[in-house]
Amino acid sequence: MATQVIMPKLSPTMEEGQVARWLKKEGDKVSMGEPLAEIDTDKATMEMQALSAGVLLKILVNEGESAPLGEPIAIVGEKDEDISNLLEGKKERAPKAEEEKAEEKPEAKEELKEAKKEKETEEEEAAEPKKAAPAKEKEKEKETKPTVEPSGDGRRQLISPIAARMAAEAGVDLRKVQGTGPGGRIIKRDIEAAMKEAKPSPAAAPKLRPMAMPKAQPGAVYGPSAYRDEPMSEMRRTIARRLVTSLGPVPHFFLTTEIEMDRAADMRQQINALYPDAKVSLNDVIIKVVAAALMQHPQVNASFQDKTVRYYEHADIGVAVATENGLITPIVRAADMKSLIEIAAEVRELAGRARERKLKPEEYMGATFSVSNLGMFGIDEFTAVINPPEAAILAIGAMTPKPVVREGEITIRQMMRATMSCDHRVVDGAVGAQFLQTFKQIIENPLYLFLG
């Protein structure tokens, strides 16, 4: 009989746990006592062991998501068992659950996502003129639904398992590899040859999700961002090692820029004039812009994970809030998916509860990037300390009118200094600078927010 795997109590103070990593996939055999998942508790990441044997039939809580103690997080039973009764009332928690489940090969994952994305866009487009020729749609589907890699002639690309694994590890672009096995199968020696040719270069780095401004889903609840772990290159590892020995556990460096805030301030006023209840603060605008900039610079929306660099899909922004007891950073999950009004409401609510010390651990743990604002204290400029394992934090100073030169003339503008602290193990100077540049560009012309 199928049984529910519940979120176990793994620490005396734990109230809920976050699934850090599933060690089994749906369909995997599970024996009793075997580690099933890694759970982040308020204390540590612990292995959760299976309490019954069988097959992992269904994952209810995806990686990165949390569940309260005792809540079902998976179902274990016999193969092909009907578990509909156990699933009743269980909603998919992750917005991307379908995507996560797709049975793609690891090396094809990104391409597949792209393909899916394209398809979604196409479907959106097609949604308007609903009468589009079905034949054409079918054709499109064929084009955009490869199970592995589309080869030039549209046939499925054959690849041996070890070749696929090596390609994924080395970041070899399989579309550029000519298979020499039977039927053009890409085999081990083809990858070895490709690796000899291609020097490790930024181009070989895994492709990242292009920035897109997704639709906001009002009222949607987001768990911690999904992510993927990329193996760290030898070069990256060396940088990490050397910087740590010179600067301490997290090797910081700092970038400062001065930003003209007139347009952002105007926009904020206009919104609040239209929606007096929205009470959007300048800090909310900053959060929204940070999230948008992160989507364009995913290298910054990342964390150092010892052997891998973890890249997050969404911008979960930690917002530093001063309380009587000290600093805490409640998290606006998936700020990239949310409207300014949603962000404002959420920050207000979280900050209120933060001051009442009523935040749950997952509401303040596991951001992907943080913003700290001391402008209200009249601070012009400061550096903030990174909240590990995040890769960066943005320190916002006070907005003050200053004389600046514009088109050869001295004029008064609302200026604000922003200083970004970066974890050099993950973010290099140029990468950080490019991010900051984008941030500046958007916030100086907030119209970009709507151009996706």
Residues at the site binding other proteins, with contacts judged by CB under 8 A: 32, 52-53, 160-165, 180-182, 187-189
The two structure tokens encoding residue 122 = 């196409």
Query: Which residues, including other chains, have CB under 8 Å from residue 4's CB and lie 6 or more apart?
Result: 72, 74, 75, 86
Of residues 187 and 213, the one with the C-beta less far from other proteins: 187
Q: If we measure between CA atoms, which residue out of 49, 77, 82, 62 comes closest to residue 18?
A: 62
**Dist. CA 434–CA 444, nearest whole Å:** 15
What residue type is 397 in one-letter code? G
* Residue closer to other proteins (CB basis): 188 or 355: 188
CB of residue 227 to other proteins, shortest distance in Å: 22
Q: Measured from the CB of residue 49, what is the shortest distance to other proteins in angstroms?
A: 14
Please provide the distance, in angstroms rounded to a whole number, between the alpha carbons at the two ends of the chain: 49
User: Which of residues 52 and 257 has its CB atom nearest to other proteins in the complex?
Assistant: 52
Cβ proximity to other proteins, 160 vs 217, nearer residue: 160
Shortest spacing between CB 148 and other proteins, in angstroms: 14
Q: Which residues are catalytic?
A: 424
Contacts of 245 (CB under 8 A, 6+ apart): none
**CA 363, CA 388: separation in Å to the nearest integer?**
16
DSSP 73-119: EEEEESTT---HHHHTTPPP--TTHHHHH----GGGHHHHHHHHHHH
Residues 6+ apart with CB under 8 A from 9: 69
Nearer to other proteins, 172 or 443 (CB): 172
Residue 107 or 363: which CB sits closer to other proteins?
A: 107
Nearest approach, Cβ of 81 to other proteins (angstroms)?
16
Minimum CB distance to other proteins, residue 158 (Å): 11
Structure tokens at 276: 């007096």
Task: Give least dist CB 161 to other proteins, A.
Answer: 5
**Residue 164 CB, nearest approach to other proteins (Å):** 7
Residues contacting residue 358 through CB under 8 Å, at least 6 positions apart? none
Q: Which is nearer to other proteins, 98 or 169 (CB)?
A: 169
Whole-angstrom CA distances from 1 to 25, 27, 78, 211 are 19, 16, 7, 45
Nearest to 48 by CA among 95, 14, 89, 82: 14
CB of 163 to other proteins, least distance (A): 6
- Identity of the amino acid at 294: L
Residue (182 or 403) nearer to other proteins, CB? 182
CA–CA gap between residue 26 and residue 16 (Å, rounded): 23
| Local structure of 35: helix, strand or coil | strand
| Pairing relationship of beta strands 308-312 and 302-305 according to DSSP bridges | antiparallel
The CA distance from 355 to 92, in Å, is 32
CA distance 11 to 48: 12
